[in-house]
């Protein structure tokens, strides 16, 4: 699959954008006209730079408001087009995108449109240019790709074809199956963009909220599958207008974009396989031969079986050790060659890393996941452009395959075991204490704060590299703004990651980071766990009395149970599937811990209680009461 991206997706100057696209490994780019117009680089400079960078210049775009106009305007439009055709010759480009008219069209007549497009195609032919005509979702008269294609067929000129853009097609819910019957020779270009399903006017949706494939909710694999079945072999190019990507680091965004195409390629192949007669007959060779577009494959991974460990890091680890001890964790010893400690409770393993920079506050540093094959999972992640994390290992030590998540958390791909143990624990000395409580404890979920520039990137990262599934997101009120909360999890809930997008902090808060992250452990008897922790002197997050009154009003709880909850600072939730009890520790540095008990089939995270946690944490940070 030939990969491409429009320069409008990225921040920076044309030069910065082109360099970032080359580094990310794109085959070609679309030159968004404004990026050229505002650039000090002349057309010949751009042509040479692209050649030096190994980037094809695959599409010049957009040419707007051409068709369905008055004769006078047509004349001006043809003059305008010829100027662009000449410019393209200097750039060494041969394909231009012409969008259906949104502003100046006055004649709603296919015969007139076809006649005018024929004039454009003739002119393009004279200049060796191919015109890719695209129906914008909000085109005045032409807003449906099948309509655009009918016009192309009416004109029947070798220099006129169509451009298919997934956003314009899927945002309008047009049926994508008819794509397969379009003559592949007439599909001059394919643009892809994903988007969250929003109920708003399609123009605003398109201009601000597009995302890269895998970061939204569109059925892109199916769209691409139809394109592949049509026989198309040209570029598959990203055109994503997104307010955040326009502001983010250009090289990071280009890599995120490339990852989305690699992932889409795999998903498209999967969709094709799952819907083909050959697939039903088990004949994948026939499947491959049938479609001329080559779809590269990735190393396959299943979703992780569970958390292998979580790692916290600090310069001074005393507070972390104290908290874990009070929660009932056992100190299992120090690593024989590294300055790290192992603490466990049942199957929940926490590594305390003492190798942090001087004065570094406690923070979550790494997560280990149990996978079928760390090597295959790592190969997949690396093909998906995940940065590799190297850890020094000595002879006889387990080699961890590590990658860096978009928020810089280190992700380690570990060899899972049927009984939930981890071989590497033998590298640690003997522990000092083995409390029997919590023998069945596990890491329930981990909540990571995401930088606002990399939230969508993180969703795609965990989807594509770790096979986690994004769940519908929630918005949680906090005293410093709404917190967007995106759960990524495995189908069985054994791995649950919560990505939190914190509000942009106001100046007075920026000095004192209010981004807090946590690790939650599930136990069988939370009340007993809490009592034991209290007896060990644990500092609980203090839950206001008002909360318990409200809880009682909502759930009509047994007075004894309510008193127990309040006495131990426990929070409670109930839904149709079951009940949820949980408590939080005080925060050290940017990390705190949570203990949870899931009763029945409760599958959530106590979302109604999240505002209480945020408010109390804010309060203790700001000490206003």
Q: How far apart are CA 528 and CA 327, in angstroms?
A: 11
- If one asks whether residue 419 binds its own copies (CB under 8 A), the answer comes out as no
Q: How far apart are CA 276 and CA 283, in angstroms?
A: 10
Q: Which is nearer to its own copies, 348 or 571 (by Cβ)?
A: 571
Is 134 marked within a binding site?
A: yes
Q: List beta partners, residue 598.
A: 580
Is 510 marked within a binding site?
A: no
492-511 binders of its own copies (CB under 8 A): 503-506, 508
Cβ pair 439, 346 in contact under 8 A:
yes
Q: Total number of residues binding its own copies (CB under 8 A)?
A: 68
Q: Which is nearer to its own copies, 316 or 575 (by Cβ)?
A: 575
Q: Three-state SS for 15?
A: helix
**Is residue 199 classed exposed, middle or buried when 0-12, 13-18 and 19+ CB atoms within 10 A define those classes?**
exposed
* Shortest distance (Å) from residue 274 CB to its own copies: 33
Distances (CA, A) of 440 to 347, 367, 372, 436: 6, 20, 22, 10
14-53 binders of its own copies (CB under 8 A): 15-16, 33-34, 36-43
- If one asks whether residue 513 binds its own copies (CB under 8 A), the answer comes out as no
Is 582 marked within a binding site?
A: no
- If one asks whether residue 477 binds its own copies (CB under 8 A), the answer comes out as yes
* Shortest distance (Å) from residue 388 CB to its own copies: 23
Is 165 marked within a binding site?
A: yes
Is 239 marked within a binding site?
A: yes
Is 266 marked within a binding site?
A: no
CA trace torsion 424, 429, 433, 436 (10° rounding):
30
Report the first-to-last Cα separation within the chain, whole angstroms: 60
Q: How far apart are CA 432 and CA 330, in angstroms?
A: 7
Q: Which is nearer to its own copies, 233 or 404 (by Cβ)?
A: 404
Cβ pair 217, 473 in contact under 8 A:
no
Q: Which is nearer to its own copies, 38 or 358 (by Cβ)?
A: 38
Q: Which is nearer to its own copies, 74 or 227 (by Cβ)?
A: 74
Residue selected from 125, 544, 578, 604 as contacting its own copies according to rule CB under 8 A:
544
335-374 binders of its own copies (CB under 8 A): none
Q: How far apart are CA 323 and CA 617, in angstroms?
A: 17
Residue selected from 51, 76, 281, 388 as contacting its own copies according to rule CB under 8 A:
76
**How do 95-99 and 130-134 pair as beta strands?**
parallel
Q: Which is nearer to its own copies, 33 or 517 (by Cβ)?
A: 33
* Shortest distance (Å) from residue 567 CB to its own copies: 17
* Shortest distance (Å) from residue 480 CB to its own copies: 6
Take residue 128 and report the two structure tokens written for it: 């060796």
Q: How far apart are CA 133 and CA 138, in angstroms?
A: 14
Single out the residue of 263, 269, 294, 303 nearest to residue 383, CA to CA. 263
**Is residue 204 classed exposed, middle or buried when 0-12, 13-18 and 19+ CB atoms within 10 A define those classes?**
exposed
* Shortest distance (Å) from residue 261 CB to its own copies: 23
Take residue 142 and report the two structure tokens written for it: 């032409």
Single out the residue of 558, 372, 501, 519 nearest to residue 441, CA to CA. 519
444 CB neighbour count, 10 Å cutoff: 23
229-258 binders of its own copies (CB under 8 A): 243, 246-249
Is 265 marked within a binding site?
A: no
Cβ pair 224, 274 in contact under 8 A:
no
- If one asks whether residue 559 binds its own copies (CB under 8 A), the answer comes out as no
- If one asks whether residue 84 binds its own copies (CB under 8 A), the answer comes out as yes
Residue positions forming the annotated binding site for Mg(2+): 445, 518, 594
Q: List binding-site positions.
A: 134, 165, 191, 239, 445, 518, 594
Residues that bind its own copies (CB under 8 A): 8, 11-13, 15-16, 33-34, 36-43, 76, 79-80, 83-84, 87, 198-201, 204, 207-208, 243, 246-249, 452-453, 475, 477, 479-482, 503-506, 508, 542, 544-547, 549-550, 552-554, 556, 611-612, 614-616, 618-619, 622, 624-625
Binding positions for a divalent metal cation are 134, 165, 191, 239
């Amino acid at each position: 699959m030939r990969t491409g991206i429009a320069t409008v997706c990225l921040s920076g100057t044309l030069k910065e954008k082109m360099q970032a696209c080359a580094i990310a490994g794109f085959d070609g780019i679309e030159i968004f006209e404004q990026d050229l117009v505002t650039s000090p680089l002349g057309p010949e400079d751009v042509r040479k730079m692209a050649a030096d960078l190994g980037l094809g210049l695959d599409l010049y775009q957009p040419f707007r408001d051409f068709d369905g106009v008055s004769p006078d305007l047509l004349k001006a439009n043809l003059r305008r087009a010829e100027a662009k055709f000449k410019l393209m010759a200097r750039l060494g480009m041969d394909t231009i995108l012409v969008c259906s008219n949104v502003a100046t069209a006055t004649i709603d007549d296919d015969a007139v449109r076809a006649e005018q497009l024929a004039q454009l195609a003739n002119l393009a032919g004279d200049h060796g240019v191919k015109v890719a005509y695209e129906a914008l979702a909000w085109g005045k008269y032409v807003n449906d790709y099948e309509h655009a294609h009918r016009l192309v067929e009416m004109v029947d000129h070798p220099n006129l074809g169509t451009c298919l853009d997934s956003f314009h097609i899927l945002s309008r819910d047009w049926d994508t199956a008819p794509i397969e019957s379009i003559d592949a020779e007439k599909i001059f270009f394919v643009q892809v963009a994903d988007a969250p399903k929003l109920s708003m006017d399609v123009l605003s949706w398109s201009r601000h909220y597009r995302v890269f494939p895998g970061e939204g909710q569109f059925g892109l694999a199916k769209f691409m599958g139809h394109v592949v079945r049509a026989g198309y072999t040209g570029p598959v190019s990203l055109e994503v207008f997104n307010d955040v990507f326009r502001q983010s680091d250009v090289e990071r965004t280009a890599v995120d974009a490339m990852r989305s195409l690699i992932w889409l390629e795999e998903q498209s192949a999967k969709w094709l396989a799952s819907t083909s007669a050959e697939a039903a007959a088990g004949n994948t060779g026939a499947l491959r031969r049938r479609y001329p577009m080559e779809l590269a494959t990735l190393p396959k991974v299943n979703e992780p079986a569970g958390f292998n460990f979580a790692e916290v890091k600090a310069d001074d680890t005393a507070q972390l050790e104290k908290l874990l001890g009070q929660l009932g964790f056992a100190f299992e010893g120090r690593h024989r060659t590294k300055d790290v400690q192992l603490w466990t409770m049942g199957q929940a393993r926490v590594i305390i890393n003492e190798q942090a920079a001087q004065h570094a506050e406690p923070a979550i540093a790494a997560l280990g996941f149990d996978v079928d094959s760390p090597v295959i999972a790592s190969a997949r992640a690396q093909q998906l452009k995940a940065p590799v994390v190297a850890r020094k290992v000595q002879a006889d030590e387990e080699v961890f395959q590590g990658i860096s998540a978009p928020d810089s958390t280190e992700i380690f791909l570990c060899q899972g075991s049927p009984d939930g143990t981890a071989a590497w624990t033998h590298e640690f000395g003997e522990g000092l204490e083995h409390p029997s409580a919590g023998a069945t404890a596990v890491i329930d979920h981990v909540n990571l704060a995401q930088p606002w520039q990399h939230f969508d990137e993180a969703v795609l990262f965990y989807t594509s590299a770790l096979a986690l599934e994004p769940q519908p997101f929630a918005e949680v009120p906090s005293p410093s703004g709404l917190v967007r909360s995106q759960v990524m999890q495995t189908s069985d809930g054994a791995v649950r990651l919560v990505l939190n997008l914190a509000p942009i902090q106001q100046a007075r808060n920026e000095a004192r980071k209010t981004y807090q992250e946590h690790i939650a452990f599930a136990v069988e008897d939370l009340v007993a766990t809490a009592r034991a922790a209290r007896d060990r002197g644990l500092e609980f997050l203090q839950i206001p009395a008002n909360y318990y009154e409200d809880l009682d009003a909502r759930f009509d709880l047994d007075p004894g149970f309510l008193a127990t909850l309040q006495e131990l600072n426990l929070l409670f939730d109930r839904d149709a599937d079951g009940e949820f009890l949980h408590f939080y520790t005080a925060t050290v540095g940017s990390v705190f811990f949570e203990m949870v008990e899931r009763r029945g089939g409760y599958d959530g995270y106590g979302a109604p209680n999240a505002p209480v946690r945020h408010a109390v944490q804010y309060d203790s940070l700001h000490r206003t009461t």
